[in-house]
Structure 1
Amino acid sequence: MHKFEEKTIKTKPIFNGKVISLQVDDVLLPDGKEAKRELIKHPGAVCVIAITDEKKIIFVEQYRKALERPLVEVPAGKLEPGEEPAYCAERELEEETGYRPGKMTHLQSFYTSPGFADELVHVFLAEQLEKVEDGLVADEDEFVELLEVSLPEAEQLAKDNRIFDAKTLWAVQYIRLNGLA
């Protein structure tokens, strides 16, 4: 037991949806007092840093209802039950961009918002990309536009707040620090 561990006394399910579940836990704090924790449960996700042989970075632009605006992002998606992250990364890349990787490398995994959610994002680097004509088709409720940009163009998209989410900002910094594009 960790010295700061909070012991769950009771869990109350609030909502169980397609992407997330919400629950409220009553917990016993290390000092013996009780508190409530509102928690989002998520199956996990992947994101893909995809770079063409011409050193262009692959992004998708899509509308994000939670923000009421479009964002430019690295290809990403939710893990299906029992799905391996590497397989999910390849599937999402092909569905969203029409590219298939010749080489896929796991770089890092990180929690997006550990104060209230257990979403773990697995970051992959896709190289040796091949454009496929008869590839996987995007989800029927997903509308994305493909962008292929240089690193300076990606940095400008970030300055313009068109790239504005943590996973994509992380990806742009990773590309710069490692001289990938």
Structure 2
Amino acid sequence: MSVWRNLGERTVYESRWVKVNMADVELPDGRHLDHTVIRLRPVAVATVVNEADEVLLLWRHRFITGAWGWELPSGGTGEGEDPSVAAAREFEEETGWRPGPLRLLLAVDPMPGISTSHHRVYWSDHAEQVRTVPEDAHESARREWVPLAKMPALVARGEVRSANAVAALLMLHHLRLG
């Protein structure tokens, strides 16, 4: 069994959002290499599928990639915070809707070769609108209930680009309509 071993790390950059470390890694054949490790807080994601099999999505521009796309409300979890509580909070802040009880849909690690970015995606089958304008309205150009049946085509056209949203929306499409 070939296993890479992390023999230790030193921090090369740190902020409240990210820590970038350089790891001394021993390969299975005994060679060593320096490997970048990006350490991030866990991410909590939430979605709601209503009775019409529509999903509430955010249409956002990401300046880092220069791309627009549909996303799910998400954010980092606080130290010791329950990820489902963080997911519900982010959903309400970013959409103006309060989700019903959330259930874990899936957990993904989008970049396990370089990052500890762990995403837990939750979903509910109902939500209550508590504000007409979300608390974090600046985070998206619009919010829309989009038919779950459209998800495979949206993903194929590159209109859903975030890895956690792609995984969650295709999983929900399969579970609800498959």
User: What TM-score bracket applies, with the shorter chain setting the length?
Assistant: 0.7 to 0.9
**Contact map agreement 1:7 1:27 (CA 8 A) in 2:** yes
1:134-153 to structure 2, matched below 5 A, reads 137-138=135-136, 142-153=139-150
Q: Which residue of 1 aligns with 2:99?
A: 101
**Contact map agreement 1:108 1:122 (CA 8 A) in 2:** yes
Corresponding letter in the other structure for 1:43:
R
Q: Which residue of 2 aligns with 1:17?
A: 15
Moved more, 88-97 or 31-40: 31-40
RMSD: 2.3
**Contact map agreement 1:49 1:126 (CA 8 A) in 2:** yes
Moved more, 124-133 or 114-123: 124-133
Q: Which residue of 2 aligns with 1:6?
A: 5
Moved more, 171-180 or 121-130: 171-180
Structure 1 Cα separation of the partners of residues 56 and 140 of structure 2? 16
Is the alpha carbon distance of 1:158 and 1:32 closer, same or farther for their aligned partners in structure 2, counting shifts above 3 Å? closer
- Displacement after TM superposition at 1:77 (Å): 1.3
Corresponding letter in the other structure for 2:148:
L
**Contact map agreement 1:6 1:29 (CA 8 A) in 2:** yes
Query: SS in structure 2 opposite 1:178?
Result: helix
Moved more, 153-162 or 59-68: 153-162
**Contact map agreement 1:106 1:122 (CA 8 A) in 2:** yes
Q: Which residue of 2 aligns with 1:175?
A: 172
Q: Which residue of 2 aligns with 1:43?
A: 41
Is the alpha carbon distance of 1:18 and 1:62 closer, same or farther for their aligned partners in structure 2, counting shifts above 3 Å? farther
Structure 2 residue ranges without an equivalent (≥5): none
Q: Which residue of 2 aligns with 1:126?
A: 124
**TM-score normalised over the length of structure 1:** 0.87
Query: SS in structure 2 opposite 1:112?
Result: coil
Structure 1 residue ranges without an equivalent (≥5): none
- Displacement after TM superposition at 1:5 (Å): 4.1
Residues 139-168 of structure 1: CA distance to partner in whole angstroms, max 9, x if unpaired? 8x6344201111233333223211122211
* Aligned residue pairs, count: 178
In the TM superposition, structure 1's runs of 4+ consecutive aligned residues that sit over 6 Å from their partners are none
Structure 1 Cα separation of the partners of residues 131 and 32 of structure 2? 57
- Displacement after TM superposition at 1:74 (Å): 1.5
Q: Paired residue for 2:151, among 150, 154, 159?
A: 154
Corresponding letter in the other structure for 2:72:
V
Q: Which residue of 1 aligns with 2:51?
A: 53
**TM-score normalised over the length of structure 2:** 0.88
